[in-house]
Amino acid sequence: MSDRSWFYASNGQQQGPYPEAQLRDFIARGTVRADTLVWSEGMAGWQKAGEIPGLMSGVARPPAMPQAGAPPMMGGGGPLSMDFGILEFTWRSLVALVGMILVIPAPWALVWYMKWLVPCVSVPGRPNLSFEGRAMAIVPWFFGAILVAIVISYLDIKVLNLVETIIQFALSWLFVRWFVANLASNGQPLGLSFAGSIWAFVGWNLLLALSIFTIIGWAWVYVAQMRWYCRNIQGTRREVTFTGTGLEFLWRAIVAVIACVFVIPIPWMYRWFGQWITSQTVLAERGTMANG
């Protein structure tokens, strides 16, 4: 074990590789804590340092107790995690927002932002997650949608507004498929695809819009939609599931909205909410979630 090289995650960024002696020095200084994600060659995925036998002061932490009724975690499976620095998130988000407002650089700003954000997510068994999409792939969709919106606005024909809405739904569906297909690990494409049909996609989004009138029902619809998204991610040996509940989503959304009224807490709220959603996305052996 002493000859192994280690990586650790800090503020959503991969650090390393470092020899084990240096990693232990980081542990002694508190740079790497028990809850810090680490990875070394031969491991199935990123793990908390405290869960690796003998790594932290020779004492290993026991694995987290499973919740009642939950299936046991299989090797290489488990929840996703996300982390990033608040300062970096803030300036990158502002730059991306400016790019979107200026319209012309929007596709490049969006891809640049995703290339930063996706590696902030840690996936069990898939180290160094990245996004390999190129802006030119979505330029025709993006500017095509803008052109359609301008023409419809100029003609001012009410029935064409429905056509514009349908086109926007279709483009959003294509964007999801493009995003999933361009995820990679260690620079190699994961070979994933999104199998959800455009009609189901439209149906879920219409249901979500209608659920707003129920005041709180939208939270349950959103969670159900997330489960549909996960079920339709194909190309992975493990089943992707979303385990969060509508009530958990609702109270967090209320807290986040109230906090964001004060503007300054927005980055912290985004990270807090994003970390919860990510942690509720779980990789499990196929069939185990249904049997749990």
pLDDT at residue 77, rounded to an integer = 65
pLDDT at residue 59, rounded to an integer = 38
Cis status, amide bond into 63, omega within 30 of 0: no
- In a shared domain, residues 129 and 260: yes
- In a shared domain, residues 34 and 125: no
| Residue whose tokens read 């000859």 | 3
More confident residue, 59 or 243: 243
pLDDT at residue 146, rounded to an integer = 85
Residue 253 covered by a domain: yes
More confident residue, 61 or 236: 236
- In a shared domain, residues 170 and 277: yes
185 pLDDT higher than 90: no
- In a shared domain, residues 125 and 227: yes
- In a shared domain, residues 27 and 120: no
Mean pLDDT value of segment 9-35: 78
290 pLDDT higher than 60: no
Q: Which of 64-68, 116-120, 126-130 has the highest mean pLDDT?
A: 116-120
- In a shared domain, residues 90 and 36: no
Residue 62 covered by a domain: no
Residue where a domain terminates, one of 32, 51, 70:
51
Residue 281 covered by a domain: yes
- In a shared domain, residues 40 and 98: no
Residue 71 covered by a domain: no
CA dist 45 and 42 (Å) reads 9
- In a shared domain, residues 100 and 237: yes
Residue 69 covered by a domain: no
Is 12 in contact with 23 (CB distance < 8 Å)? Answer: no
pTM score: 0.71
Residue 67 covered by a domain: no
Residue 63 covered by a domain: no
- In a shared domain, residues 283 and 148: yes
- In a shared domain, residues 151 and 284: yes
Given pLDDT bands bounded at 50, 70 and 90, which one contains residue 152? confident
Number of domains in the chain: 2
Given pLDDT bands bounded at 50, 70 and 90, which one contains residue 127? confident
- In a shared domain, residues 45 and 138: no
What percent of the chain is predicted at pLDDT more than 90?
48
What percent of the chain is predicted at pLDDT more than 70?
87
Q: What is the mean pLDDT of the chain?
A: 84
288 pLDDT higher than 60: no
220 pLDDT higher than 90: yes
Mean pLDDT value of segment 157-172: 79
Given pLDDT bands bounded at 50, 70 and 90, which one contains residue 132? very high
Mean pLDDT value of segment 22-50: 81
Domain limits for position 89: 78-291
CA dist 239 and 283 (Å) reads 6
Residue 241 covered by a domain: yes
- In a shared domain, residues 141 and 216: yes
CA 65, 8, 191, 107 dihedral sign is positive
**How many Å separate Cα 171 from the centre of its chain?**
20
Mean pLDDT value of segment 211-223: 94
Mean pLDDT value of segment 35-40: 83
74 pLDDT higher than 60: no
